[in-house]
Chains A and B, each alone.
Chain A
Amino acid sequence: DAGVIQSPRHEVTEMGQEVTLRCKPISGHNSLFWYRQTMMRGLELLIYFNNNVPIDDSGMPEDRFSAKMPNASFSTLKIQPSEPRDSAVYFCASSFRGGINEQFFGPGTRLTVL
Chain B
Amino acid sequence: SQQGEEDPQALSIQEGENATMNCSYKTSINNLQWYRQNSGRGLVHLILIRSNEREKHSGRLRVTLDTSKKSSSLLITASRAADTASYFCATDTGRRALTFGSGTRLQVQP
Contacts and interface: CB of A to CB of B under 8 A. Distances in A.
A25 B31 CA distance: 23
Contact of B33 (A35, A45, A102, A107): A102
Contacts of B92: 98-100
A102 B43 contact: no
Interface residues of A, number: 25
B25 interface: no
Given A42-B102, A42-B103, A99 B42 contact: no
Contacts, number: 66
Contacts of B98: 33, 45, 99, 103
User: A-side binding surface: helix, strand, loop or mixed?
Assistant: strand
Give the contact-size bracket for chain B.
20 to 34
B90 to A, nearest CB: 8
A108 B103 contact: no
A56 B95 contact: yes
Interface centre among A45, A55, A99 (most CB of B within 10 A): A99
B96 A48 contact: yes
A102 B44 CA distance: 9
Interface of B: 2, 30-31, 33, 35, 41-45, 48, 88, 90, 92-103
